[in-house]
């Protein structure tokens, strides 16, 4: 069948059919089917459907998921310390880097050393990307060591990103007999341990290095632990170094506290002479086991979304997080607070949490945790 020639285009009047155009359309769509008009009509319908799908997708792109929505940021501590400060910084700046510019509202949820918030995020919170959170860095380590902990699997959280690793410092009040960590091998030191991370660190240090740290764990967070230390209920506690500098510079200036050690696997660049926790064991085997307990310092101040959030939304949150930590206004706030910033992308953090470790080391670390009531 040959294409009809010399068929002029004549605009149809309203309410009428343009016969010439109809003839050409039928030939174009139906010629290969030998005049089968039903097939040609089906093709027209198919083309129209595809066009409508494209239009719907374009409309969806112009109406982002987060427009008009609120994101809840759950912080697993009270309104003090590094978790709260970093969480509020993210809430202040991240919304403008998400399509639709959602408002981010902070909700503090202290309790059970950070587990209350972690369990809420895992099992209760909405799984559509409207809830994210930050909780104690040792939650994944608790699970690694087989402790009674998260009702779920830490590796199944969608890890959004890390603001900083936690090079925390253990420090003692000026009235304590322990003035340096060497004194803690012969003198008992009463230490507030409100979070899972500090509890595990000091438990392991006692077992592997022989320190005499007596742990008190009944405090909701750093704020109540600070008050207890000033009152003389406890003699020592730990905080991220940057948080201690920012929140209590007078303690350092007036020598009200003595720095004892730092918990990170790597030394803080401003504390080159302060011993690391992993430097204290006498044998290499004990040091390697203690490094397992120090792994949580890599997680530090990290943010997650619940398991089950759609992949594309997780990627959107991860991209917004990385844009935030490069944002000029955010960096200005970090500078004002004199806080550290050591970002880690969500995908890299996800891989770290899912990593396997030598079974022999893990078993020995588990045994230490079990013997000490964890």
pLDDT digits (tens, 9 = 90+) for 13-68: 444 444 444 454 444 444 444 445 554 555 556 656 655 544 444 444 568 999 99
pLDDT for res 80: 78
Instruction: Say what the pLDDT of residue 89 is.
Output: 97
DSSP code of 190?
Answer: E
HSE-CB of 42 using CA atoms within 13 angstroms: 6
Q: Cα(210)–Cα(184) distance, rounded to whole angstroms?
A: 9
- Number of Cβ within a 10 Å radius of residue 181: 23
Q: What is the CA radius of gyration of the chain?
A: 30
Strand order in the sheet with 131-134: 103-108, 70-75, 131-134, 301-305, 158-164, 344-345
Q: What is the pLDDT of residue 286?
A: 95
Strand 158-164 to 213-216 pairing: unpaired
Per the DSSP assignment, residues forming a β-bridge with 305 are 158
Residue from 109, 219, 211, 121 nearest 170 by CA: 211
HSE-up (13 A, CA, CB side) for residue 19: 0
**Low-confidence residues in the chain, pLDDT < 70:** 1-62, 148, 372-374
User: Where is 305: in which H helix or E strand?
Assistant: strand 301-305
Nearest-5° angle of CA 75, CA 318, CA 107?
15
What local confidence, expressed as pLDDT, does residue 157 receive? Answer: 98
> Which of 296, 347, 340, 303 lies closest to 90, judged by CA?
303
Nearest to 80 by CA among 234, 222, 248: 222
Phi–psi pair at 212, nearest 5 degrees: -115, 65
pTM of the model: 0.70
Question: How much is the pLDDT for 13?
Answer: 47
Distance of alpha carbon 116 from alpha carbon 96, whole angstroms: 29
Q: What pLDDT was estimated at residue 246? A: 84
**Structure confidence at residue 148 (pLDDT):** 64
What's the pLDDT score for residue 49? Answer: 60
Q: Are strands 301-305 and 158-164 parallel, antiparallel or unpaired?
A: antiparallel
| C-alpha span between 275 and 264 (Å, rounded) | 10
Given this model, what pLDDT does residue 195 score? Answer: 77
Short-list 236, 187, 245, CA closest to 215: 236
What residues form DSSP beta bridges with 164? 301
């Amino acid at each position: 069948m040959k294409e009809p020639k010399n068929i002029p285009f004549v605009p149809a009047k309203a309410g009428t059919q343009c016969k010439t155009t109809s003839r050409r359309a039928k030939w174009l769509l139906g010629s290969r089917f030998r005049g089968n008009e039903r097939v040609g009509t089906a093709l027209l319908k198919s083309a129209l459907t595809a066009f409508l799908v494209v239009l719907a997708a374009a409309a969806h792109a112009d109406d982002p998921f987060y427009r008009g929505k609120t994101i809840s940021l759950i912080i697993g501590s009270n309104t003090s310390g590094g978790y709260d400060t970093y969480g509020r910084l993210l809430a202040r700046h991240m919304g403008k880097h998400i399509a639709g510019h959602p408002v981010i509202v902070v909700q503090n949820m202290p309790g059970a050393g950070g587990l209350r918030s972690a369990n809420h995020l895992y099992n209760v919170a909405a799984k559509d990307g409207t809830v994210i959170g930050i909780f104690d860095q040792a939650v994944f380590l608790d699970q690694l060591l087989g402790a009674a902990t998260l009702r779920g699997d830490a590796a199944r959280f969608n890890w959004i990103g890390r603001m900083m690793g936690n090079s925390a410092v253990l420090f003692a009040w000026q009235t304590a007999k322990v003035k340096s960590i060497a004194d803690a091998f012969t003198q008992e030191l009463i230490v507030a341990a409100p979070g899972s991370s500090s509890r595990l660190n000091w438990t392991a240090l006692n077992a592997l290095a022989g320190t005499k740290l007596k742990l008190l764990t009944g405090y909701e967070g750093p704020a109540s632990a600070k008050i207890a230390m000033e009152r003389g209920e406890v003699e020592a506690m730990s905080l991220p170094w940057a948080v201690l500098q920012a929140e209590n510079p007078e303690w350092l200036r007036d020598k009200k506290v003595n720095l004892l050690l730092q918990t990170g696997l790597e030394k803080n660049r401003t504390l080159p002479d302060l011993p690391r926790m992993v430097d204290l064991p006498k044998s290499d085997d004990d040091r390697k086991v203690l490094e397992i307990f120090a792994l949580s310092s890599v997680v530090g101040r990290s943010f997650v979304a619940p398991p089950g959030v759609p992949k594309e939304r997780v990627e959107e949150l991860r991209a917004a997080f990385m844009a935030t930590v490069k944002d000029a206004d955010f960096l200005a706030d970090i500078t004002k607070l004199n806080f550290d910033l050591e970002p880690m992308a969500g995908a890299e953090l996800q891989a770290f949490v899912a990593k396997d470790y030598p079974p022999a080391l893990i078993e020995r670390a588990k045994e230490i945790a079990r013997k000490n009531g964890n």
